[in-house]
Amino acid sequence: MASILCYTLNPAFDLAISLDHLQPGTVHRAGASQLDPAGKGINVGRVLRRLGHTVRLGGLLGRDNAAPFHELFRREQMESVFVEVEGSTRINVKLAEADGRVSDLNGPGPSITAADWQHLLQATPRQLAGIDAVVVSGSLPPGVSTDDFARWLLVLVDSGLPVWMDTSGSGLHAVRQTTVTLLKPNEEELAQLLGHALPDSGDLDAAAREVVGSGWSQQVLLSLGGAGACWFEGTSMWQAIPPEVIVRNTVCAGDTLLAAALHGQLSGWSREAGLRFAVALAAECVRHVGPGDPEAADFAELLAKVRMGTPALQTSATEMPE
């Protein structure tokens, strides 16, 4: 198995709350609630660890409430090389309704100083030692500019390692200043990167191919919510459509998709086999809180029910929140 370094620059505690229906301005009684140390790169690492890989976690972590994160890393046997900074890691609230709709309330995170960022830059080369692939996931914390992020990405890319990227907001535009191995946007993020609306499947297809053709990313893994995902490389495209499942919480679905696809890549699988596996594991994920579980009793059944799409990209109005 491989050794993967997963970066999360702006981790969070995820407070997942289940309720029947969200009605703003009223009092709600939660059906269940759960507070977990998380962050997109950390979620990716947890899935990769369950798939048998060695995982190293890096990024920027608030010192004041770091203990639960370190306990998670110890329990799941993931090495931490996080740079700790002054302040508290943020809390993100995920409100999951009975029909599968999720509303996110995301905190900003601690403010990163120039000294904090320089510490990460200086530590990066030694953090990459012995690593087979790098994942960069999540938003930028306050104090880190798009240009700062782009220059750091260049360090990762220049290492010669595969760099898989899943970000949004200002960090997404940094991809224009380098060439990552794979970019994993959802429909909204792809539109944000291109700077215009993508109202139908033809627009999405053209936009993903533009990202590859522009040299910003060698590959694009486009997540489409209930319609699964598409993998673009060169002039080729593969789409996998998941089986129907009862959707409970979609928070970690995109992270699970990326981790499972990277597992397939590192295992030497074909694009079709890797995408089929990734979409099946993302479908397993949305049935509960937390990352997908490849050891689920019915995972083989889910995998068998994944359908490969037609050459015309199929989309769904249901999107996996990132």
Active site residues: 255
As given in the structure block, the two tokens for residue 176 are 């224009």
Buried b (16+ CB within 10 A) or exposed e, 271-294: beebbbbbbbbbbbbbbebbbbbb
Judge whether 241 and 225 are in contact, CB under 8 Å: no
Coil, strand or helix: which one is 218? Answer: strand
Cα–Cα distance for residue pair 172/47, rounded to 1 Å: 23
Judge whether 253 and 281 are in contact, CB under 8 Å: no
Judge whether 278 and 260 are in contact, CB under 8 Å: yes
DSSP for residue 186: B
Judge whether 154 and 179 are in contact, CB under 8 Å: no
**Torsion sign (Cα): 61, 62, 63, 68:** negative
Judge whether 37 and 115 are in contact, CB under 8 Å: no
